[in-house]
Amino acid sequence: MADNKQFVHLHLHTDYSLLDGAIKIGPLAKRAAELNMPAVAITDHGNLYGALSFYHKMRAEGVKPIIGIEAYISRGSRHEKGGGDLQPGEKATNHIVLLAKDLTGYHNLVKLSSFAYIEGFWRKPRIDRELLARHSEGLIGLSACISGVPPSLLLRDKFDEAARASLEFEEILGKGNYYLEIQEHGLDAQKRIRKPLLELSKKTGIPLVATNDSHYLMDTDVKAHDTLLCIGTGKTINDPDRLTYGSPNYYFRSADEMWQTFGEEPDLLHRTLEISEKCDVVFPKSIDQVPLYPVPDSHTIESYFEKVSWDGFEERLRDIWQSLQSFWFTASACVEIS
Ligand SMILES: [Zn+2]
Ligand SMILES: [Zn+2]
């Protein structure tokens, strides 16, 4: 029966989850093939930077690529910048995982992530419910980690609000396109909401699915990932108050390990395959073509890119010198007056 014990990763951060994910796409594709995984998803924080490379490298290894993002979703409108009035434990920005079922879904992910940067950027690129509703076709949503909307409401003991929010997402994405995620990395918060999530699923009829919030490839990469987090947050390893994941289990776990963790509830694991079967993005050849940018005759596209980068650097350097000079002028004038 070992063959039935499969698992598809639907929640995974590559190194395009900048300074947070430490999984390189090439080695990931090889590892997924080695573990006989039928499919794997990419769900970087708020962006699709790795999508094309992921798509090609996974297919080259015979693993089906599932294209997604872990989007940031604002509590209110994406146009409002700032946290607003927050209750204790409440977050201004939550997470939601979105997976493309088809090419329409992929194009909607492109729109969502672009508008998140153009219109919704406040600390992070954020979408909101209105934008999601406008571009929801072809997408599957998952409730995300403990920073997702329903999980964070459950953590604040707001069961009814969590039910309302879950049903709202289900309505936006369409019935059968929204799932409640259960993660088990050994965190107290995850344990605390385990039972409430089961109850939430019973009450709303929204199915549960097991996920693994993968941030690094092998269990031995935990220290390297921890160091990466330090770089991302401007802390040192010796700082006791720095952000840590609080568990060494955020690696790309095998199906066996996921079955050891969730085996008592096989539906949660079977559902990862069910979702992966619903996702089938096939890119047309033309998607690899980048727009033609005219460059002067004396340049190739690469050499021109380097030239404009240096020109921009010089320009910024000039700005910095100018502001430093005016600072020195003001400072010396102050010394003379005093
Ligand atoms: Zn998350
Ligand atoms: Zn995540």
What is the spatial distance between Cα 159 and Cα 7, in angstroms, rounded to a whole number?
29
**Domain identity same for 197 and 231:** yes
36 C-alpha vs ligand 2 centroid, how far in Å?
A: 23
Q: Is the pLDDT at 1 greater than 60, yes or no?
A: no
Query: Which residue among 288, 305, 320 closes a domain?
Result: 288
**Domain identity same for 303 and 284:** no
314 C-alpha vs ligand 2 centroid, how far in Å?
A: 38
Q: Is 148 helix (H, G, I), strand (E, B) or coil?
A: strand
184 C-alpha vs ligand 1 centroid, how far in Å?
A: 13
204 C-alpha vs ligand 2 centroid, how far in Å?
A: 24
Q: Is the pLDDT at 40 greater than 60, yes or no?
A: yes
**pLDDT bracket for residue 279 (50, 70, 90):** very high
For 122, the token pair is 């406040």
Which ligand is closest in space to the CA of residue 9? 2
**Domain identity same for 264 and 296:** no
Q: Is the pLDDT at 104 greater than 60, yes or no?
A: yes
What is the spatial distance between Cα 104 and Cα 172, in angstroms, rounded to a whole number?
16
Mean pLDDT of 87-91: 88
144 C-alpha vs ligand 1 centroid, how far in Å?
A: 5
95 C-alpha vs ligand 1 centroid, how far in Å?
A: 5
247 C-alpha vs ligand 2 centroid, how far in Å?
A: 14
Per-residue confidence (pLDDT) for residue 334, from 0 to 100: 65
Residue 129 phi, psi (nearest 5)? -65, -35
307 C-alpha vs ligand 1 centroid, how far in Å?
A: 39
**pLDDT bracket for residue 162 (50, 70, 90):** very high
Query: Which residue among 254, 271, 288 closes a domain?
Result: 288
What is the spatial distance between Cα 183 and Cα 247, in angstroms, rounded to a whole number?
12
Mean pLDDT of 33-57: 97
**Domain identity same for 40 and 128:** yes
Cα-based distances in Å from 40 to 15, 37, 55, 229, 294: 15, 7, 10, 24, 38
Q: Is the pLDDT at 2 greater than 50, yes or no?
A: no
pTM (2 decimals)?
0.87
**Domain identity same for 145 and 125:** yes
**pLDDT bracket for residue 319 (50, 70, 90):** confident
**Domain identity same for 146 and 90:** yes
213 C-alpha vs ligand 1 centroid, how far in Å?
A: 8
**Domain identity same for 280 and 302:** no
Per-residue confidence (pLDDT) for residue 191, from 0 to 100: 96
20 C-alpha vs ligand 2 centroid, how far in Å?
A: 10
Mean pLDDT of 224-250: 93
287 C-alpha vs ligand 2 centroid, how far in Å?
A: 27
Give the total number of structural domains in the chain. 2
**Domain identity same for 199 and 304:** no
Range of the domain at 332: 292-338
* CATH number of the CATH domain containing 135: 3.20.20.140
14 C-alpha vs ligand 1 centroid, how far in Å?
A: 13
**Domain identity same for 276 and 296:** no
Q: What is the mean pLDDT of the chain?
A: 94
